[in-house]
Amino acid sequence: MEPLFPILILAIPLFMFLFLGLLGKYMSHKWAGILGTAGMGVTLILAYCTAFTYFFSGSPEFIDGTQRLQYVAFNVDWLQLYDQLVIRIGFLLDPISAMMLVVITTISFMVHLYSNGYMRDHHGVWEKGFQRFYAFLSLFSFSMLGLVVATNIFQMYIFWELVGASSYLLIGFYYTKPSAVSASKKAFIVTRFADLGFLIGILILSYYTGTFNFTDLTSVGVEGMTDVFKVDLSTAESIKDLKFTASAAPMFMGASVLTWALVLIFMGGMGKSAMMPLHIWLPDAMEGPTPVSALIHAATMVVAGVFLVARLFPLYLMEPTSLTIVTVVGAITAFYAAMVACVQVDIKRVLAFSTISQIAFMMVSLGVASPDFHEGLGYMASMFHLFTHAMFKALLFLGAGALIHAIGSNDYTDMHGLRKYMPVTHITFLIGCLAIAGIIPFSGFFSKDEILSSCLGNSTITYLWMSMVAGLTAFYMFRLYYLIFWWKEHKVHEGHHAPHDQPWTMTLPLVILAAVSCVAGFIPFGDFVTWNGEAYDFMAHFDWNVATVSLCIAVLGIGLATIMYRKENPWPQRMRQLLPGLWRWCYHRFYFDELYMFITHKIIFGCVSRPIAWFDRHIIDGTMDGMAYVTNKAAYAIRGLQSGKVQLYVWVYLIGALLLGVITAVCLI
Amino acid sequence: MEITMIYYLIPALIMFCCGLYGFITRRNMIAMLISLELMLNAVDINFVVFNRYLYPGNMEGMFFTLFAIAIAAAETALAIAIIINVFRKIKNVDVEDLTKLKD
């Protein structure tokens, strides 16, 4: 394949960023929007062509018999530190990166299109900084595309930080709003803190393996691994034997360095993917414009952590401990976020916690994936869920954006009974809810069902736990749905004009994404994305029992939500009084923010920062100040000597010379 | 009577002391400049004398003297220019009154 398309896929968004960023203020809002959207549209077409070529051309570069190969479109030296250590920038095509190309460009294009309508008010007045907004969206698209096609872990790290930076810029888009500013800072600091672990993990991994390349790191072939672990593997036959060699690597605090490296790398993923306890930034990130939440904080950037684990999956497979950690973190987060989502008032917050919960589903799915069970079903399920979730969650967020745009508030209490006014938004939002709840023909059902199947393959407890979370998902999504579109009607609307559906730029993405959410479940995903590239027919492994159970649970959740929230009734209040403690804890997100505030302000600031600051001010600065003080005083003391009178200087010189002469004479005699 | 080195050195010393005295005591800048020239010439005489009597075959002292005369001329021109400018500014050439740079 020619490297032209891959280069253009990265170059166009970067160019659009520079173009709109530098020249945007000289062009009209309308043209900036059209140009940004058109640029993304071209990228979308190129990415589709690339993915299509990769999956369907059958060329021997991409597929060897039934096994899909990793294909490097280009790989240029970017930073040559010395002969052995070269950092490259390249373009790696393999099943997951091709799939991510499709997901990112699709969602990004939809969001570009949607923002044309969203970023102006009802009278058609454009938001301040509209061009800047498009420039940042392009920057984000560039960074995210660079992240998923990274050929080496260092390139991934670079783009990883770039998506973090563009996320920071976009959350803080309304920089005059203090809450947006603090949310952007929070997001940046929390993810940066997690990236510290990621960086250390990268350094450990590359130190012990001597390579940054994903292809070398993850090649399951014996010859690749020999290099990687510097252990003689002439006897190793399969991945089972490799487990042994991995544990033969040096140990540190009771775990092998590989485990440490993988856990630290996973910490980076936890930060980006908002896993507990590093999830606190994501709900606050909803301060950004809603299209940004749809693109970055629902569909693409937050799944970077899942993508990272998937990318290094063969390594994780060698260390069962690290996979267990992934599973446990994912399972706890999924439950926690689902609980919190049940009581939030702000619709974007509900969706944010739902995102956390769904990403945790993907993490769990990766954690329980094993080649021994259904040939790595979990890996495929995770990627499948990533795909479907990106579509329906972007749909839900864009729908929420349409509602917020129409009402001017984030609270469902201002919305109630909107179904008559906004029929398109209503139907598409309902489809999104059905998809996330896992009702049969919609995409979420298939991906979630596979995740639950692979959980069952791991252990019954995981399966039951995740099924319960799936039920909660259905419950909180339909609670949200009923509270927005049903319940009693508000009378506030009468003064203003009634809320109505939005312009076509906003409804078209909703309709397209809803259509995708309806049919995406029927994509034979196993043919495209599997952990080892072998095509795999998941219908053959389809477990009807699991499917029936999960469907029943989803219906149960929806039914409960219908009883409690379809009409105004005392049940929610009664439930709240029944479990006041639980309600309060959920409402306050289990006091995680307060816990962080306590740790940072009281413990870190109080016990560490303040003493250090005192030492700095008084001891270090004091020494310097003291030196300056002494110099100053001495200068004042001898200031009078510099009289500026030439003749006095001559006298002094003369006397000095004579004295020296006398001394010399005395010494000589 | 043979003329030895000392016959030259004594007048040169007297010249130098006169120059020094003048440089220290006079307040007029032009007088100070003249005193300065006097000291320079005393030193020039010394150079020539030492060269003539101690190293008769060599010419270094002579050359030094020639250089010193040339540079003294240039320096005098410069100093006169400065003094004229100072005079234009403050209508005075008294060195005690030149305190502008100090303030």
The more confident residue out of A552 and A220 is A552
Chain A contact for B79 (CB, 8 A cutoff)? no
Chain A residues inside the 8 Å CB shell of B32: 646
Q: How many CB atoms sit inside 10 A of residue A189's CB? A: 13
Q: Which H or E run contains A78?
A: strand A71-80
Nearest to A644 among B23, B24, B101 (CB): B101
Q: Are B20 and A654 an interchain contact pair (Cβ–Cβ within 8 Å)?
A: yes
Strand-strand pairing, A63-64 and A67-68 = antiparallel
The more confident residue out of A123 and A445 is A445
Q: How confident is the model at residue A238 (pLDDT cuts 50, 70, 90)?
A: very low
Q: Are A647 and B23 an interchain contact pair (Cβ–Cβ within 8 Å)?
A: yes
Q: Which CATH class is domain B7-93?
A: mainly alpha
Q: What is the pLDDT of residue A355?
A: 92
Flag whether pLDDT at A550 surpasses 90: no
Token pair recorded at residue A202: 């990268």
Where is mean pLDDT largest: A173-177, A592-596, B17-21? Answer: B17-21
Chain A residues inside the 8 Å CB shell of B95: 645-647
Give the position of tokens 């010189």. Answer: A653
Chain A residues inside the 8 Å CB shell of B20: 650, 654
Beta-bridged to residue B94, according to DSSP, are: B28
Q: What is the pLDDT of residue B103?
A: 58
Q: What is the pLDDT of residue A257?
A: 78
Nearest to A647 among B95, B101, B102 (CB): B95
Chain B residues inside the 8 Å CB shell of A650: 20, 23-24
Nearest to A644 among B20, B32, B102 (CB): B102
Q: Are A647 and B101 an interchain contact pair (Cβ–Cβ within 8 Å)?
A: no
Q: Are B24 and A647 an interchain contact pair (Cβ–Cβ within 8 Å)?
A: yes
Spatial separation of the C-alpha atoms in residues A625 and A628, rounded to whole Å: 5
Pick left, alpha or beta for residue A375 (phi over 0 → left; psi -120 to 50 → alpha; otherwise beta).
left
Q: What is the pLDDT of residue A288?
A: 85
- pLDDT tens digits along A67-110: 788 888 888 888 887 776 788 888 988 888 999 999 999 999 99
**Number of residue pairs across A and B with CB atoms under 8 Å?**
18
Q: How confident is the model at residue A2 (pLDDT cuts 50, 70, 90)?
A: confident
Q: What is the pLDDT of residue A64?
A: 77
Q: What is the pLDDT of residue A244?
A: 41
Q: Please give the single-letter amino acid code of residue A537.
A: D
Flag whether pLDDT at A218 surpasses 60: yes
Token pair recorded at residue A425: 């938004």
Q: Is the dihedral of CA A416, A419, A421, A424 positive or negative?
A: positive
Is the Cβ–Cβ distance between A370 and A378 less than 8 Å? Answer: yes
Find residues 23-62 of chain B whose CB sits inside 8 Å of chain A.
23-25, 32
- pLDDT tens digits along A613-629: 999 999 999 999 999 99
At A463, give phi and psi (nearest 5°): -60, -50
Spatial separation of the C-alpha atoms in residues A251 and A241, rounded to whole Å: 18
Low-confidence ranges of chain B (pLDDT < 70): 101-103
Is the Cβ–Cβ distance between A179 and A43 less than 8 Å? Answer: no
Q: What is the pLDDT of residue A648?
A: 85
To test the contact with chain B by mutation, choose from A645, A649, A653, A655 the residue with the greatest count of B C-beta atoms within 10 A, namely: A645
DSSP of A181-223: HHHHHHHHHHHHHHHHHHHHHHHHHHHHHS--BHHHHH--SHH
Closest-CA residue in chain A for B20? A650
To test the contact with chain A by mutation, choose from B23, B82, B103 the residue with the greatest count of A C-beta atoms within 10 A, namely: B23
Contacts of A237 (CB under 8 A, 6+ apart): A222
Chain A residues inside the 8 Å CB shell of B25: 647
Q: How many CB atoms sit inside 10 A of residue A431's CB? A: 25
Whole-number Cα distances in Å, A244 to A114, A239, A257, A620: 52, 9, 14, 52
Is the Cβ–Cβ distance between A309 and A362 less than 8 Å? Answer: no
Spatial separation of the C-alpha atoms in residues B5 and B10, rounded to whole Å: 9
Spatial separation of the C-alpha atoms in residues A427 and A351, rounded to whole Å: 17
Q: How far separated are the first and last CA of chain B, in Å rounded?
A: 59
Q: Are A644 and B20 an interchain contact pair (Cβ–Cβ within 8 Å)?
A: no
Chain B residues inside the 8 Å CB shell of A651: 24
Nearest to B24 among A643, A644, A651 (CB): A651
What burial letters (b/e) apply to A330-363, b meaning 16+ CB within 10 Å? bbbbbbbbbbbbbbbebbbbbbbbbbbbbbbbbb
Distance of CA A662 to the CA centre of its chain: 84
- Give B24→chain A minimum CA distance, Å: 5
Q: How confident is the model at residue A346 (pLDDT cuts 50, 70, 90)?
A: confident
- Give B48→chain A minimum CA distance, Å: 23
Q: What integer best gives the mean pLDDT of chain A?
A: 84
Q: Are A645 and B96 an interchain contact pair (Cβ–Cβ within 8 Å)?
A: yes
Q: What is the mean pLDDT of residues A187-213?
A: 86
- pLDDT tens digits along A357-405: 999 999 999 888 877 776 778 888 899 999 999 999 999 999 988 888 8
Spatial separation of the C-alpha atoms in residues A559 and A566, rounded to whole Å: 10
Give the position of tokens 């739902």. Answer: A354
Q: Output DSSP code: residue A172.
A: T
